[in-house]
Structure 1
């Protein structure tokens, strides 16, 4: 799973036209670290269909501010350049899978 380091990288991913999941996290965040293996697994499973990217809020506060991230982990589900869903806090794999499948409809 690739990281997005700045707004330019986000714009480049957005211009590809695929659905996107952004995982805003921090290295010091326990729930973020719990969620990370699930997100990485789904990133591999949905490879080629959905762009799953992680964003470190400590290193990229500009993008975190753009998405108004107040709590982490925060996942944003983007389709056709619009946020269609979001999830704040740790969540079970089945819930993430449901949201990913909805992006593909």
Structure 2
């Protein structure tokens, strides 16, 4: 099963910089159990619109069935781990 964590962010977003170390730690600990996809909303507005992203950071966990969970604002590692497990990672 393919599980993805989409990280919608921008260079000018302060809270996004707070989120980054949490995502890096999660990615290191979980290895290849999920794919971390970084989406710069300034460069990829079409993708942000497709996912109806209105605030940053927005994190979306999805699998082959679609979106499993969505987080707006800085999200703690534990909450993301639960969502990734729910998605089958």
- The question of a shared fold, defined as TM-score above 0.5 by the shorter chain, is answered with yes
Moved over 2 A (4+): none
SS in 2 for 1:65: helix
What are the ranges of 5 or more consecutive residues in structure 2 without an aligned counterpart?
none
Tell me the distance in 2 between the aligned counterparts of 1:30 and 1:70: 16
Higher RCO (C-alpha 8 Å, min separation 6): 2
**Are residues 1:97 and 2:67 paired?**
no
Q: What's the counterpart of residue 55 of structure 2? A: 71
Q: In the TM superposition, what whole-angstrom CA distance separates every residue of 1:7-28 from its partner, at most 9, and x where no partner exists? A: xxxxxxxxxx511010000111
**Are residues 1:52 and 2:36 paired?**
yes
Kindly state the Cα deviation for residue 47 of structure 1 after the two structures are TM-superposed: 2.1
Size of the aligned set, in residue pairs, is 89
Q: What's the counterpart of residue 26 of structure 2? A: 42
Q: TM-score with structure 1 length normalisation? A: 0.78
Q: Is the 8 A contact 2:68 2:83 kept in 1?
A: no
Tell me the distance in 1 between the aligned counterparts of 2:31 and 2:44: 24
**Are residues 1:20 and 2:4 paired?**
yes
